[in-house]
Amino acid sequence: MNEILKIRLKTIARGIMITDFKSLIKMLSFIFVVSVFLYFNYFIFYKIFVFLLRTEEGIGYSIAQRLTSIMFSIFFLMLFMSSIITSITTFFRTPELEFLFTTPIKTEKIFFIKLLENGIFASWATMILSIPLMFAIGNAFEFGGFFIFKAIILFISMVFIAVSFGLAIVFFFSEFFRKHSLGTIIIVIAIALLSVLAVVFFMKSPDLFNLPRNANLYNVEKYIASLEVEQFKYLPSGIIINMIFDKSQQNSNITNILLLFAYIISSIFLTIISMNLYKNKYISYEKTILKSSIHANRMNYPTFFKNSRIALLMQKDMLAFLRDPSQWGQSATFLLLLVFYGISVVRSPIYFKSPFYTYILAFANLGFSTYIMATLSVRFIFPLISLEGRTFSLIRSSINVRDYFNAKIVFNFLMISVLGQVLVIGTNAFLNIDNVVVIVSVAVTFIISFGITIINTGIGAILADFTETNPSKIASGFGGIVSAITSLAYIGICLGILSTPTRTYFEYTFKKIPFNNMYFLYAIIFVFALTVLLFTLLYIAGLNSLKKRNV
């Protein structure tokens, strides 16, 4: 174990080692971008909590607690889903495994290293949001210096529980359906998870804003009390939130510690079972069963595209994606979860559909949709150029690199734009939002799709790693983090620009303060200008980087 761990640490150290002026600049830029991003997140969370805690009626404390609880529930579900997604590649498809399994290293040690890797791959995206959140909670609620230490320990426990449960699900299903292909197993896992989610979803009605507009004082007090009930309180995230907010009720505290302990013990138990199954699972994991049973040529495309190299490259990307179960399986799972998100917006309580909340929801929906577009882009678009691997030399020698780069941009833009528009238009239609907001949302989503595409394709070209075959590993590497942070910062700036006319529009709706639709147009022009600037810079840098690449 020590030897493999040492190799890992050495690899990380050499990856970040400053050897020349260029690597110094690269490292300093990375530290600067990450620090700014973390501080910005912390600042936003802190301001929200401080604002809520200042309200005198006590509702602020309850809402802050409820929001934290919801965020932790989302983090836990994201960790769990990510673990399922990354474990297939990490435990079965990495080329290093073939080397390790021919050496006398014990299977348990290989398993442990892969478990650690899987935990990191599955949790890094959640980590960059949750660390500033925990600092913000600690400072806003004045929990003291020990709090961060406690919160980090609890968070690591949550990661461990999510990762081991996710892994156990993959191992369980692949054991049960051992005669079936990886594609079938992924479909079965996705259906099983969605069935569980559907049951929970339809049994539990959303109640965060479930307060009638004509409620009396008794109803309001009852509502405030209900807010303090944590979301999914028996999930590890709910238990951890209870422990973080520690209301010093001895019994409740002991119950929470026991529940968390039970989860940890179950996770260890599941991990041991998975570890014992691992060797046999690896040697019976048959890569060749993935070979396509369709022998027809899928590279023939309609006559009017015959002379388009861009269409040919897009066709190739589409086929490669659809024939890789780890790629389409992961994206299908994400897309189905988004369908649930859409349904949950539609099912929001009737009181919630007052015009004020509807506009807030429309804006929040735009923010959430673009956030989802950004995270999906980092996972699926950013690694695309790296995944060309050695075939990039074939592409470079036979096709104009500009055509290749353009094809990537068009393909990625179509994917991300369709996803974003479906989310935004679909939910807005159900919310009966007026046409001005719908048009603004559609226009902004279109522009942001373009921005996110060029960020992930451009940085994907600049920081391409043609030696890595694991898309999750590519997405969680240095380039992936830079891409994620740039995308999120870009979305933050765009939403910041849009927030001013949106607020004025709300005021116009309720207080009849004069509003000119041109305010929206100016904001859109700002967002467009920012996107054009970003596009120009990243297009030139990405293209030049590809032209200079040696594979």
Interface with other proteins, residue 105, by CB under 8 A: yes
Binding residues with other proteins: total (CB under 8 A): 26
The pairs formed by 301-309 with CB atoms below 8 angstroms and a separation of 24 or more are 309/399, 309/400, 309/403, 309/407
Interface with other proteins, residue 253, by CB under 8 A: no
- CA-wise closest residue to 173 among 195, 196, 189, 197: 189
Interface with other proteins, residue 11, by CB under 8 A: yes
Interface with other proteins, residue 289, by CB under 8 A: yes
Q: How far is the CB of 91 from other proteins (least distance, A)?
A: 15
Q: How far is the CB of 174 from other proteins (least distance, A)?
A: 14
Sequence length of the chain is 551
Interface with other proteins, residue 101, by CB under 8 A: yes
List all residues 6 or more positions away from 69 whose beta carbon is below 8 Å from its beta carbon: 230, 231, 232, 237, 238, 241
Interface with other proteins, residue 355, by CB under 8 A: no
Q: How many CB atoms lie within 10 A of CB 488?
A: 22
C-alpha angle 97-100-104 in degrees, rounded to nearest 5: 150
Q: How far is the CB of 275 from other proteins (least distance, A)?
A: 13
d(CA 35, CA 543): 28
The SS3 assignment for 82 reads helix
Q: Which is nearer to other proteins, 107 or 139 (CB)?
A: 107
Q: How far is the CB of 99 from other proteins (least distance, A)?
A: 5
Given a contact cutoff of 8 angstroms between Cβ atoms, the answer to whether 26 and 479 are in contact is no
Q: How far is the CB of 478 from other proteins (least distance, A)?
A: 13
Q: Which is nearer to other proteins, 180 or 353 (CB)?
A: 180
Interface with other proteins, residue 95, by CB under 8 A: yes
List all residues 6 or more positions away from 289 whose beta carbon is below 8 Å from its beta carbon: 181, 182
H or E segment to which residue 390 belongs: none
Given a contact cutoff of 8 angstroms between Cβ atoms, the answer to whether 420 and 445 are in contact is yes
Q: State the DSSP code for 231.
A: T
Q: How far is the CB of 277 from other proteins (least distance, A)?
A: 13
- CA-wise closest residue to 495 among 375, 364, 373: 364
* Interactions with other proteins, residue window 106-165 (CB under 8 A): 106-107
d(CA 274, CA 267): 10
Interface with other proteins, residue 284, by CB under 8 A: yes
Q: Which is nearer to other proteins, 107 or 308 (CB)?
A: 107
Interface with other proteins, residue 541, by CB under 8 A: no
Q: Which stretch binds other proteins (CB under 8 A): 7-15, 214-222, 315-323, 336-344?
A: 7-15
Given a contact cutoff of 8 angstroms between Cβ atoms, the answer to whether 362 and 428 are in contact is yes
Q: Which is nearer to other proteins, 213 or 287 (CB)?
A: 287
Interface with other proteins, residue 305, by CB under 8 A: no
Among 29, 35, 55, 103, binds other proteins (CB under 8 A): 103
Q: State the DSSP code for 213.
A: T
Q: How far is the CB of 291 from other proteins (least distance, A)?
A: 8
Interface with other proteins, residue 178, by CB under 8 A: no
Q: Which residues form the interface with other proteins (CB under 8 A)?
A: 3, 7, 10-11, 14-15, 95-96, 98-99, 101-107, 179, 181, 280, 283-284, 286, 288-289, 467
